[in-house]
Amino acid sequence: MGAPLPAPPGRAEPRAAGTAFGGAANGPVEWVLPEEAPVSLVYNGRPFGVMLASPSDLEDFGLGFSLAERIIARPAEMESIEVTQGEQGFVLSMRILSERAALVAGRRRALDARSGCGLCGIESLDAFHAALPNVVAPDLAPEAILRAFADFRAHQPMRARDRSVHGAAWCGRDGVFKLVREDVGRHSALDKLIGAMARDGHDPRDGFALLSSRCGFELVQKAAAVGIGFLACVSAPTSLALDKARACGMGLACATRDGGLVRLTP
C-alpha cells in the first residue's frame, strides 16, 4: 500500500500488522488505523454526553456540535473550550452563557459513545418531526460541484493514511476548497467543519458543504441549524433527508458512479 504519510504532530499513529492475500501485494503488511476515542462533552462543569470521535480538531468539534445541536445560538455564546486527555479518553470542558447552560441542564441525551449516532438522544417523535429552519440554497454551477468532487481526496490527509475516515469540506461557490475536517464519524466530521467555519467567519450562505458519505437526515438537520444552504454528498440521500431538505429549502446533490452528479433539490 506504499509508504504511509506521517502522523499529525503530537500523536502516535495506531497501526496493525497483518498478512495480505490475493491482491496487489502478498505477504506481511502494516496498516495505519483510523483513530477513535471517547470524548466527554461537559458544559459549565456538568457532563452532557460522550461521543466517539477522531481526537483531532476537538475545539472545532465542541463549537460545531454546540451550534449544530442548538445548545448555543451564536459562536459568541461559547466563552471557552478546554481539551484535556486522560487515561479513559478526552474531555471537552466548555463554558457557555449561564442562560444557555440552564437550558442544557434540562435536556436529556442518549450519547452513548457512538461515532455513528444519528438522532443523538432526541426525546420524542414530536421533537424529531419539528420543522427545520429555512435556508437559502445558493445558485451553484454544476461544474463547480464537479470540480470539488474531483479534488476531494487530495484534501483529505487522514484518509490518505488510513483510508477509513469521513471528510467534510467547505467550498466556495466556485468549488474551491476553504476548509476540510475529518473524523471516523460523518456527523462528527460535519460538526468539526461547522466549528471551523464559525471560528474563521465563513458565511454559510456563500458556498456549499461537501461530504464523503451518504446524506442522512441528521446531516441535513445539522446543516440547516447553522444556515448551510447546500450539501453535496458522495452517496445519495435517504428519503427522509431528501424530504427534510426540500421542506427547508436546502440544495442537495450527489455524485454518480460515472463521475457526474445529480442535483435533487431545490
Task: Assess whether 73 and 100 both reside in one domain.
Answer: yes
The answer to whether residue 231 scores a pLDDT higher than 80 is: yes
Task: Assess whether 161 and 187 both reside in one domain.
Answer: yes
pLDDT in tens, 37-87: 999 999 999 999 899 999 999 999 999 999 999 999 999 999 999 999 988
Task: Assess whether 168 and 56 both reside in one domain.
Answer: no
Q: Is 117 a catalytic residue?
A: yes
Which of 95, 65, 97, 96 has its CA nearest to residue 82?
A: 95
CATH (domain of 218): 3.40.140.10
Integer Cα distance of 263 and 49 in angstroms: 36
The vertex-106 CA angle with 105 and 110, nearest 5°, equals 90
**32 inside domain:** no
Output 28 or 72, whichever has higher pLDDT: 72
* Local confidence band at 129 (pLDDT 50, 70, 90 cut-offs): low
Contacts of 230 by beta carbon, 8 Å cutoff, 6+ apart: 137, 138, 140, 207, 208, 209, 250, 251, 252, 253
Task: Assess whether 69 and 167 both reside in one domain.
Answer: no
pLDDT in tens, 135-175: 999 999 999 999 999 999 999 888 878 777 899 999 999 99
**137 inside domain:** no
Domain containing 253 equals 142-265
Contact assessment for residue 218 and residue 211, using Cβ atoms and an 8 Å cutoff: no
How does DSSP classify residue 132?
Answer: P
CATH (domain of 48): 3.10.20.10
Q: Which of 117, 233, 248, 254 is catalytic?
A: 117
Of the three residues 128, 158, 187, the one that is the final residue of a domain is 128
**188 inside domain:** yes
pLDDT at 170: 98
When divided into structural domains, the chain yields a total of 2
- Work out the percent of the chain whose per-residue pLDDT is above 70: 84
Average pLDDT over residues 173-190: 94
Burial of 94 (0-12, 13-18, 19+ CB in 10 A): buried
